[in-house]
Amino acid sequence: MASSTSSNTHLLVYTFQPPGHIIPLLDLTDHLLRRGLTITVIISASNLSLLNPLIASHPTFLHKLVFTDPDPDHNPSSDHPLIDEVLATQKLFDPIVKWFESHPSPPLAIISDFFLGWTNELASHLGIRRLVFSPSGALGYSIFNILWQDTFEINALNSREDESFLLSFTELPNSPELAWCQLSQLWRSYKKGDPGFENFRKGILDNMTSWGMVFNTFEGLEGVYIDYVKKQMGHDRVWAVGPLLPDEHGAMGSTGRGGSSAVPPHDLLMWLDKKRDDSVVYVCFGSRETLSEKQMSALTSALELSNVDFILCVKESDLKFITSGFEERVGGRGFMIKGWAPQLAILRHQAVGSFVTHCGWNSTLEGVSSGVMMLTWPKGADQFANAMLLVDQLSVGIRVCEGGPEEVPDSTELARILDESLKSDRPERIKVKKLNQTATKAVKEGTSIQDLDSFVMHLSEL
């Protein structure tokens, strides 16, 4: 229940553009609004539709600060579109300052995506606190942060030709190891001295000097890595408040979360209702990852060879790689979604037993929170670290495609794993059900709700 103190607390929320970054921060916004905070969300015009359900649910205390999408400057030396996207957001420094100075009751803190490290300087200029929101887990974030700390090491590794060369992160708990090809492509393309990259690198390192940090994770999933981040930051203003997922009936309900489904949710759920419990494999590679022609061929061949019922979510750009007649050949076993899928509603359905996933952090949390066994096929970013967490440390998943982003699985072996994944006695399935219970407890009465309350209290005391 909101207190009179928290209702006077005004927080500025700044999202980064991709859906995988926006959606969890809006989930957090929903939780904070229900605790009585006043919130202004900085959002681009193209993403306003993602915010509208929250505005309709919280018309009094939620406000929007909409800017037209900044045009990324052409920066030929950086050679990376993400760098240009981040640089483009910095054009909003002065407009935000102008808005802040004209506001009758301006925010006392800003929470912004970890790619927007430049907002540290913005907060300092405005005389307010800045908090980091990480759309990645604590392990993935820590590895990414370590990579950017040592430019000498970066330059040394940039000259390596051995894609399988292993890097050990010995300062982290469990001393994780990743191959060169499994590390952030953005980091691997770093060019020392390039203004765009150096600007971005400064922002990443500035995150660790922020007043606080919020993770969409929970103690039972990543406790040792949350403790590591606290040690690195030198204080305890690090909150693990996840999994940040909507309930069935909230403003950000599971069927409409993140956008409109490419198929009527009712039709999809009716199809699932006809299936036995834990009998369906859900296959999806998130909002941004795509498959090569060889990878799609291996995947669809495996689905045909297997005996499982499945839902296959395919991007429009990948449809050309699906062979003619595939849908007819799999008949009633398969349901294909061409575009955005209501993923959370699918995973929460009792018929779904396993999940072929790229291991993006949102998908990882949604799978764990639904008690669904993960079949890991990471492609880039923090996904290899997340797969390592699921398979090697938590034992709630099985690798179906190892190696680098372009690795192609063996269709026959993949078909076998698909069939095996639905067996009730799989140890991974038993463990993920227990982890699901831990996640549920964390957000209802455990560490995550305690951290969320602590976070609100700290804001109110400002």
Dihedrals phi, psi of 386, to nearest 5 degrees: -65, -40
Q: Are strands 280-284 and 177-179 parallel, antiparallel or unpaired?
A: unpaired
CA distance 403 to 381: 14
Lowest mean pLDDT among 98-107, 110-119, 152-161, 408-417: 152-161
Which structure tokens are listed for 421? 């994944």
Contact 228, 215 (CB under 8 A): no
Q: What is the pTM of this model?
A: 0.92
- Does the structure show a pLDDT above 50 at 251? no
Contact 200, 226 (CB under 8 A): no
Residue 331: which pLDDT band, with cuts at 50, 70 and 90? confident
For the stretch 81-110, pLDDT in tens is 889 899 999 999 999 999 999 999 999 999
Examine the residue annotation and report whether 113 is marked as an active-site residue of this protein: yes
Examine the residue annotation and report whether 194 is marked as an active-site residue of this protein: no
134 Rama sector, left if φ>0, alpha if ψ -120 to 50, beta otherwise:
beta
Alpha helices in 69-218 (DSSP H): 81-89, 93-102, 119-126, 138-147, 151-158, 185-188, 195-206
The average pLDDT across 437-451 equals: 96
- Does the structure show a pLDDT above 60 at 445? yes
Name every residue whose Cβ is closer than 8 Å to that of residue 391 and which is 6 or more positions away in sequence: 376, 397, 398, 399
Q: Determine the distance from the C-alpha atom of residue 431 to the mean position of all C-alpha atoms in its chain, rounded to a whole number.
A: 22
pLDDT, residue 4, reads 39
The average pLDDT across 379-401 equals: 95
Q: How far is CA 434 from CA 232, 363, 424, in A?
A: 30, 18, 14
- Separation of first and last alpha carbons in the chain: 19
Residue 158: which pLDDT band, with cuts at 50, 70 and 90? low
- Helix then strand count (H, E) for the chain reads 20, 15
CA distance 454 to 24: 19
- Does the structure show a pLDDT above 90 at 256? no
Closest CA to 389 of 142, 76, 122: 142
pLDDT, residue 3, reads 40
For the stretch 167-187, pLDDT in tens is 889 999 999 999 888 988 888
pLDDT, residue 156, reads 54
Q: What is the mean pLDDT of the chain?
A: 90
Q: Which of 27, 84, 113, 318 is catalytic?
A: 113
> DSSP 3-state assignment of 179?
strand
361-369 vs 19-33: helix axis angle to the nearest 10? 50
pLDDT, residue 79, reads 66
**Diameter of the chain measured on Cα atoms:** 65
Higher-pLDDT residue of 3 and 444 is: 444
Which structure tokens are listed for 454? 């602590």
Strand order in the sheet with 373-376: 334-338, 309-314, 280-284, 352-357, 373-376, 397-399
Residue 249: which pLDDT band, with cuts at 50, 70 and 90? very low
Q: Write down all domains in the chain, each with its CATH number in brackets.
A: 4-240 (3.40.50.2000), 265-439 (3.40.50.2000)
- Does the structure show a pLDDT above 60 at 313? yes
Q: Which of 21, 31, 58, 349 is catalytic?
A: 21
Contact 284, 363 (CB under 8 A): yes
What residues form DSSP beta bridges with 384? none
Q: How far is CA 164 from CA 11, 107, 168, 382, 410, in A?
A: 45, 48, 12, 17, 19
